[in-house]
Amino acid sequence: MKKFPYEPPTQSVAGQIFDALLMLVLVFITLYLPLWLKLAGGGTTTTEYPNPSWQALGQNATMAAQWEKLGFSAEKAASIIGTRFDYSFNWVALVFTAIIIIGYFVFMFRYSDYEYRDVIAERFGDDRSTKAR
């Protein structure tokens, strides 16, 4: 039987630096990959107004007054008001993302269970916990 209290194995400084850099690379890949594969960032759509006026832009008198307080005329505000985000929905991308997330959590659950049983076996010397895998 092992002595108490349990002391986990230590990791070297080089191992810690490697782990930190690996996490940075994985975060970068996780955030950039969907954009690179065109799975995110649908873009915008723009409505052109040939003769912009506050009425043509759908702005009432109160809204127009607020725009003017901010220093915008109807011509300047037309490009802002006319630009809308594209909220189109891609079911394939949603299913792909769900599979990745669910797969990750299943992997982490299984691996954590394995590690947990390994620590219990190491601490208490119980061979039964490692045989249940």
Q: Which two tokens stand for residue 68?
A: 């003017």
Residue-number span of the structural domain to which 82 is assigned: 44-87
Q: Tell me what pLDDT residue 128 has.
A: 55
Residue 58 vs residue 44, higher pLDDT: 58
**In this structure, is residue 67 part of a structural domain?**
yes
- What are residue 84's phi and psi, to 5 degrees? -125, 145
Q: Is 104 part of a structural domain of the chain?
A: no
In a domain, 64, yes or no: yes
**Residues 7-32, mean pLDDT to the nearest whole number:** 92
* Average pLDDT value over all residues in the chain: 86
Q: Could you tell me if residue 65 is inside a domain?
A: yes
User: 3-state DSSP call for residue 108?
Assistant: helix
User: For the range 16-23, what are the long-range contacts, defined as Cβ-Cβ under 8 Å and sequence gap of 24 or more?
Assistant: none
Q: Which amino acid is at 65?
A: A
**With bands split at pLDDT 50, 70 and 90, how would you rate the model's confidence at 45?**
confident
Q: Confidence band (pLDDT; 50, 70, 90) for 126?
A: low
DSSP state of 92: H
pTM for the model: 0.42
Q: What is the pLDDT of residues 62-115, one digit of tens each?
A: 999 999 999 999 999 999 999 888 777 788 988 998 999 999 999 999 999 988
75 found inside a domain: yes
- Report yes or no on 80 lying in a domain: yes
Domain count, the chain: 1
Across 27-42, average pLDDT: 82
In residues, how long is the chain?
133
Residue 98 domain-assigned (yes or no): no
In a domain, residue 70? The reply is yes
